[in-house]
Amino acid sequence: MKAIAEARTPLSVFDQMESEVRSYCRSFPVVFTRASGHTIWDRSGKAYIDFFAGAGALNYGHNDPAIKRKLIDYLAKDGLTHSLDMATEAKEALLKAFEEKILKPRGLSYKVMFPGPTGTNSVEAALKLARKATGRETVMSFTNGFHGMTIGSLSVTGNRMKRRGAGMPLTHTLALPYDQYMGSELDTTLYIERLLEDDGSGVSLPAAMILETVQGEGGIHVASIPWLQKIEGICRKHDILLIVDDVQMGCGRTGTFFSFEEAGIQPDIVCLSKSIGGYGLPLALTLIKPELDLWLPGEHNGTFRGNNLAFVAATESLRYWENDQLCRTVLEKGSIVRTRLEKLQREYPYLQGKVRGRGLMQGLAVGVDGLAEKICAEAFERGLILETSGPKSEVMKVMPPLTITEEALLAGLDILEASIKACKEEEKQ
């Protein structure tokens, strides 16, 4: 099997030189060369429909032509590429556009912090600031949450295998049951409220709670709107800061720019990365309620906080938010995916499937161990890039670029169905 794969796509330099830690190249064992919109091509010229979108970093697709134009122009005029956190024209334009097109129309007021350019950088900054602002140590997180791979972010992440990688105790955190963790009957906010109110609970008042409104990496668990509102209520009542990690669900994935808009909540701190860079370029923001902006100059720092190419791309990408067209199409496409996954769940009971999701983040949780990965591998052979998530890689995750055409969306779903069918036939033999 391996020999065949190597003959088709010589991966030997990756096998020989790259650390065993590599992962996505194992799921998609070809060498890629080119990408446009929702399509990626490998070295043999074979095209794949992208239902993965760079784990949410490519909400506007690969190499968006308007963004590309701006980047080329900026490079051609020798615009600054690296600037630490010095003031540049590119950063000025991004801050203005973010205020005008995102914050103001939503009635939100946040100071914008530029941490290092990755999601985990934004989370680390948020945790650090929450502890500094409250003088408390504990941060409450949620079961199946994912917040990144550095020590602070891992300490609020659920996945056992990833936590173990820390090689040291992950402390000053407490994991709470996310919405539906105990089934649909039990409202987990009652338990959380009780922990905080009861003098005998053994739980001290935390600095903050950190959550995703939809848990992407953790298996597409969706928090209900009332649950999110109750969590915000608990935070307000007990003077706990609310951090929403919108690194994957932000920038339109759920149908609104911020994933928490529908709940009408106003987090104290918001983490953004992945698609905020617009073009797959590294960029992260930590949004801070003005009264919490208690940093001393330089108290948090980093060399790559001035990625001007990403500023240029991000500014252009915000043009998608000048009207509600993108939102509407995300909801329409999300419902096409939803309906199709529900149909597959009904027609292929062997999957023991459950459909979960919001907007254009939909998943089919498969009840048979190892089957989701098998179907994804089959789909890849048939020209579809589809990843799994969840602690046992049990959820097939449908998250194409938000800009995918309806035609490609349907073609991708057809490939998914054919792959489910092929794996079922194999199962029978």
Ligand X SMILES: *Cc1c(COP(=O)(O)O)cnc(C)c1O
Binding region for ligand X (CB under 6 A)? 55, 118-120, 123, 146-148, 212, 216-217, 245, 247-248, 273
Query: Residues in the chain, how many?
Result: 429
Q: Which residue is nearest to ligand X (CB)?
A: 119
Shortest distance in whole angstroms from residue 280 CB to ligand X: 11
CB-nearer residue toward ligand X: 383 or 391 = 391
CB-nearer residue toward ligand X: 54 or 334 = 54
Shortest distance in whole angstroms from residue 268 CB to ligand X: 17
Q: Which residue has the tokens 């053994």?
A: 202
Q: Measured between alpha carbons, how far is residue 43 from residues 3, 58, 63, 354 in Å? A: 18, 21, 18, 36
Nearest Cα neighbor of 153 from 179, 178, 126 is 126
CB 321 within 8 A of CB 330: no
Q: Where are the beta strands (DSSP E) in 2-126?
A: 32-36, 39-42, 47-50, 111-113
CB-nearer residue toward ligand X: 147 or 305 = 147
Shortest distance in whole angstroms from residue 123 CB to ligand X: 6
Shortest distance in whole angstroms from residue 158 CB to ligand X: 12
Q: Measured between alpha carbons, how far is residue 400 from residues 68, 89, 169, 330, 417 in Å? A: 20, 32, 37, 10, 16
CB-nearer residue toward ligand X: 55 or 423 = 55
Q: What are phi and psi of 309, to 5 degrees?
A: -60, -40
CB-nearer residue toward ligand X: 118 or 256 = 118
CB-nearer residue toward ligand X: 55 or 385 = 55
Shortest distance in whole angstroms from residue 332 CB to ligand X: 24
Long-range contact set of residues 403-410: C-beta below 8 Å, sequence gap at least 24:
403/37, 403/38, 403/59, 403/60, 403/61, 403/64, 403/326, 404/37, 404/38, 404/61, 404/333, 405/37, 405/38, 406/333, 406/336, 408/38, 408/39, 408/49, 409/333, 409/336, 409/337, 410/336
CB-nearer residue toward ligand X: 273 or 403 = 273
Shortest distance in whole angstroms from residue 141 CB to ligand X: 11
CB 194 within 8 A of CB 203: no
CB 388 within 8 A of CB 396: yes
CB-nearer residue toward ligand X: 64 or 212 = 212
Shortest distance in whole angstroms from residue 56 CB to ligand X: 6
Shortest distance in whole angstroms from residue 121 CB to ligand X: 7
